[in-house]
Amino acid sequence: MFIEEPSKIICSQIYTKQSNILKIGKGSMLESQVYFEKDKAELIIGKNSFIGGSKIICTEKVTVGDDVLISWGCTVVDSNFHSLNWSERKNDVKQWFIKKKDWQSVVTKPVFIKDKAWIGFNSIIMKGVTIGEGAIVAAGSVVVKDVADYTIVGGNPAKLIRKI
């Protein structure tokens, strides 16, 4: 874990393994639950960013840029968590119980939230998404596709509202 001073982790729950990487840039605040699902997963948070009362579930890599605001109740995920094939998925509970989940059949793709982005209350950011610089995600949105720089998106699935 690498935390630049003065940064804060406030009453967060962080579920990690020895080989996971958590970097928090100078002046950032993390008030969230963070779950590292796989060895060598990385969560990188830039400078002067705030993540409040949210969940980040990291299987591969989640990157949050500088000056980012992620509001309360948001969820950021970088995987499907389960195979789409039932014959591979049927053993998930048993594997979790013994803490030996087989991630080989699960699709993972990194998430990137670029500098100056703002993710509104109760939004969900799905695997493989890049939120562009200065972009705004409206409250309650489900983002399944990339968001261009300096645009506002909203809805389920999130769609372009306007450029800013």
Identify the CATH number of the domain defined by range 2-163: 2.160.10.10
Residues 75 and 54: beta-carbon distance below 8 Å: yes
Q: Does residue 31 carry a pLDDT above 60?
A: yes
Q: Which of 8, 23, 55, 82 is catalytic?
A: 82
Q: Does residue 57 carry a pLDDT above 90?
A: yes
- Predicted TM-score of the model (pTM): 0.88
143/153 Cα distance (integer angstroms): 8
Over residues 85-99, the pLDDT tens digits come to 677 767 776 666 656
30 sits in the region (left: phi over 0; alpha: psi -120 to 50; else beta) called: beta
Known catalytic residue: 107? Answer: no
The full set of domain ranges for the chain reads 2-163
Average pLDDT, the chain: 89
Q: Does residue 101 carry a pLDDT above 80?
A: no
114/29 Cα distance (integer angstroms): 16
Q: Does residue 103 carry a pLDDT above 70?
A: no
pLDDT class of 106 with cuts at 50, 70, 90: confident
